[in-house]
A and B are shown apart, each in its own frame.
Chain A
Amino acid sequence: NAGVTQTPKFQVLKTGQSMTLQCAQDMNHEYMSWYRQDPGMGLRLIHYSVGAGITDQGEVPNGYNVSRSTTEDFPLRLLSAAPSQTSVYFCASSYRDSSDTQYFGPGTRLTVL
């Protein structure tokens, strides 16, 4: 098993550009989530999904969109990047819900100029 994979590892965007951060897991997990990590603020939940076709907002959803068309994939879209979205982004998955062990991907470091 590859576990949770994320692409790209690094990305630089200009303000206003759009992009999609990819996340995939091969563990047949139902629950997937996206976090951003900023210095001194820990990890904050952006969006999460409890299964294909179901998504919901987390703590900091503004400026981000998600979809879950398959169990394996959970992409995160930035429609119009802003400097405030400069951060490290982590995708995670767990078997069923938030009370199960979460497995994190290696992260994507995003810089918005």
Chain B
Amino acid sequence: GENVEQHPSTLSVQEGDSAVIKCTYSDSASNYFPWYKQELGKGPQLIIDIRSNVGEKKDQRIAVTLNKTAKHFSLHITETQPEDSAVYFCAASIAWNTGNQFYFGTGTSLTVIP
């Protein structure tokens, strides 16, 4: 099955700086790559996603890049704010006709220091 690796496991940045979280995947059949933010005591919430036919996507301070050849994708948060502090998960979804499953990375705990 798919194997998703996520780095780093913890990340501390000063408010206003940028944060970058990287993930790699193993199965070339994966075609959908969402990123989730999980706050303490809550379920994960989608913040941005990208599909395999797109190389980059941006939504205000958040961007995601995808390199299909190298099988890696990254989350970029610019101008970080204290409310960005949370655990972030990447995921890869196997195409619906070959498995229909999500595989998650192990998470990155981001702390934004005021």
Contact = CB atoms under 8 A, between A and B. Distances in A.
Interface of A: 4, 31, 33, 35, 40-45, 48, 50, 56, 58-59, 90, 92, 96-99, 101-107
Given A45-B102, A50-B100, A102-B34, A59 B1 contact: yes
B20 interface: no
A44 B104 contact: yes
Interface string B81-98: 000000001000111100
A110 to B, nearest CB: 15
Interface residues of B, number: 30
B44 A99 contact: no
A99 to B, nearest CB: 4
A66 to B, nearest CB: 14
A7 to B, nearest CB: 14
B43 A98 contact: no
Contacts of A42: 4, 6, 89, 104-107
Contact of A43 (B9, B89, B99): B89
B50 to A, nearest CB: 12
Contacts of A107: 41-43
Contacts of A41: 106
Contacts of B103: 45, 59
A32 to B, nearest CB: 12
A104 B100 contact: no
B49 A101 contact: yes
B11 to A, nearest CB: 15
Contacts of B43: 4, 90, 92, 104-107
Given A42-B89, A101-B49, A33 B106 contact: no
Contacts of A96: 96
A92 B36 CA distance: 13
Contact of B100 (A4, A98, A101, A102): A98
13 contacts: A4-B43, A42-B105, A42-B106, A45-B101, A45-B103, A50-B100, A97-B96, A98-B96, A98-B99, A102-B46, A103-B46, A105-B43, A107-B42
